[in-house]
Amino acid sequence: MDSSNGSVSQLMNAHGYLDRVIRELKTLESPQKNTLVSVLQYLSDHIRVTRDEIGALRAGSSNAPIFSSTADELEEIVTETARAANRIMDAAEAIERAAADAEPPLANALMDAVTSIYEASAFQDITGQRIAKIVGALQAMESNLTSLVAAFGPPEEEALVAEGDAALLNGPQLEKNASNQSDIDALFESLV
């Protein structure tokens, strides 16, 4: 059991203990008990609401796939921007080669522009590192949330599955799952 599961278990035990104390207090004859019972009941209700809210995180179900799919999407952004940066540099290198045959004023202007393109292309490295940090944070959140929901939540419910037209709205596919244009053309032709 990891530390978060341990904390959750302790909290649940404490909540059960609190409810038992409330029940026992109610059986007492003491006239001062009502104030104490109401305070403890308030605390117990508050803990219950919090547990229900955490349990609700499971509704819509499985947070883990949401997190991992988001991480995959972010990694795909890194791949796409790398590809775009390389295409930009292909073009810039072609301009640089052409500039070598141009007259000085034009050649200088072209070279300055090409240098700026090279400098700006570093965005891909920077954004890639930032996204890697976000992916790491998502993975840590996924781990903590999964432990919390498993310990607190109600029995697992059916996952909400999109139906009808909504099921067709998935956005761009990850490259490893995607069909290329040839696949699409072949499929299209095969349909009557």
Partner 1 sequence: MALKDMRVFIVDDYTTMLRILRNLLRQLDINNVEEATNGDMAYQMLQKSPPDLIISDWNMAPVTGLDLLRKVRADAKLRHIPFIMVTAESKTENVIAAKQAGVSNYIVKPFNAETLRAKIASVCPATV
Residues that bind partner 1 (CB under 8 A): 82, 85-86, 89, 92-93, 96, 111, 114-115, 118-126, 128-129
Question: How far is the C-alpha of 119 from the C-alpha of 16, rounded, in Å?
Answer: 62
| Closer CB to partner 1, 92 or 145, in the complex | 92
Give the DSSP H or E segment for 6: helix 3-27
- Tell me how far, at minimum, the Cβ of 110 lies from partner 1, in Å: 12
Query: Which of these, 82, 88, 84, lies nearest to 117 by C-alpha position?
Result: 88
In angstroms, give the least distance from the CB of 175 to partner 1.
17
Q: What span, in angstroms and rounded, lies between the C-alpha atoms of 50 and 152?
A: 9
Closest by CA to 64, choosing from 169, 131, 139, 162, is 139
Q: Which CB, 36 or 82, lies closer to partner 1? A: 82
Assigned token pair, 186: 């072949």
Which of residues 74 and 82 has its CB atom nearest to partner 1 in the complex?
Answer: 82
CB of 40 to partner 1, least distance (A): 49
Least CB distance to partner 1 at residue 89 (A)? 6
Whichever of 126 and 166 has its CB closer to partner 1, that residue is 126
Least distance from C-beta 121 to partner 1, angstroms? 5
Nearest partner of 117 among 143, 141, 96, 103, judged by Cα: 96
Give whichever of 63 and 121 is closer to partner 1, judged by the CB atom: 121
Comparing CB distances to partner 1, the nearer of 93 and 183 is 93
Minimum distance between the CB of residue 180 and partner 1, rounded to whole angstroms?
23
CA distance 36 to 25: 8
Residues 178 and 80: beta-carbon distance below 8 Å = no
Which DSSP letter does residue 61 get? -
Those residues with Cβ within 8 angstroms of residue 133's Cβ, 6 or more apart along the chain or in another chain: none
